[in-house]
Structure formats: structure tokens, C-alpha cells
Amino acid sequence: MIQDYSIRPIEPRDDAAVAAIIRTVMPEFGADGPGFAIHDAEVDAMHAAYAQPRCSYFVVERDGRVVGGGGVAPLVNGEPDVCELRKMYFLPAARGVGAGQAMMQRCLDAARAHGFRRCYLETLTGMDAAQALYRRNGFVPICAPMGGTGHHGCDRWFIRQL
């Protein structure tokens, strides 16, 4: 990742910026209707949501401005050794500069530190750059969703061993 960017754990002061990023990026990919993470209650209180046990959320900052984020948490209604890579979104200014790879590594390291053995994620057709990143990092497609995230709008699912 280029030197102008840094990744750090989310703080309460980041909640509004992260919510704005989620609400900006998801519609770019048609992911603003029912069944998408944009409607999750945690979007407006990400710091509190990820301050729970076995959860971590990080933000990408450039020049003091939050330009992306991503995290891990236990998969809702999933097996105890499975986490979910969640809400990993970047503004255009943070795309194509290595921020996604750096965030992926930070999240997978956190997942291992929390004791997870597998990492699951949900995405959708059209998020081609994201899917390429997932595949480069050892995620493999699976045929059906896992757990009970409520994100029935997603049509692509991946998992990897940690």
C-alpha cells in the first residue's frame, strides 16, 4: 500500500464516515435494496458493533480522512470456528493502490488472533475487483450461503481456511 495510507482500528469518531462510505459504495454496485448490508442496524454504530468479543473493524485513512474499512466477526448462526469478512468497502480514492490487500491481511490476521479457523464472505455479481482480491487471498467459491446474515441480496459466497 502506498505510504499516504494507514490502517487502524475503528474509533467512535469514525462511525459517521464509515456509514457514509457504506451508503456511497453499495449503491454503486446496485446493493441498496432489501437484503443488503446497507440496511444493517450496525451501519450507524460500527465501533460499538465491533467492540464485541471476537470482532474487529479497521479503517483506512489518508490525510486524516477515512476512505475505507473492513472487519471480521463471528458468522451469525454459524459454526463457532467460522468468522465473516464484513463490510469491506473503499471509496474510489482508495481503490487500486493496495488498500484492499492490506485490509484483507489485517482482517485475516485478526480472525486468526480471535481463534477462527475459517473465514466466510458474501458478495455479488459485478464486484469483480473484490472477487479477484478474494481469490488471490485463498478464498474459494461455495454454492450456497452459510449462517444467517439476512443478506439474501448477495449471490456469491466464498470461504477460506485460516
* Mean per-residue pLDDT over the chain, rounded: 94
3-state DSSP call for residue 107? Answer: helix
- The mean per-residue pLDDT over the stretch 125-139 comes to 95
Q: For the whole model, what pTM was predicted?
A: 0.94
Query: What is the torsional sign of CA 136, 138, 142, 144?
Result: negative
Q: How many CB atoms lie within 10 A of CB 96?
A: 10
Q: Residue 147: pLDDT above 60?
A: yes
Residue 44 is given by DSSP the state G
Q: Quote the number of domains for the chain.
A: 1
- Check which CATH number belongs to the domain holding 88 and give it: 3.40.630.30
Q: With beta carbons less than 8 A apart as the criterion, state whether 126 and 31 touch.
A: no
Q: Residue 29: pLDDT above 90?
A: no
- The mean per-residue pLDDT over the stretch 28-35 comes to 82
- The mean per-residue pLDDT over the stretch 6-34 comes to 92
pLDDT given for residue 153 in this prediction: 87
In Å, what is the CA distance from 116 to each residue of 43, 61, 80, 84? Answer: 23, 27, 8, 10
pLDDT digits (tens, 9 = 90+) for 32-86: 878 788 888 899 999 999 999 999 999 999 999 999 999 999 999 999 999 999 9
Do strands 82-90 and 118-123 pair parallel, antiparallel, or not at all (unpaired)?
Answer: parallel
What is the domain extent for residue 150?
5-161
| Cα-trace Rg, the chain | 14
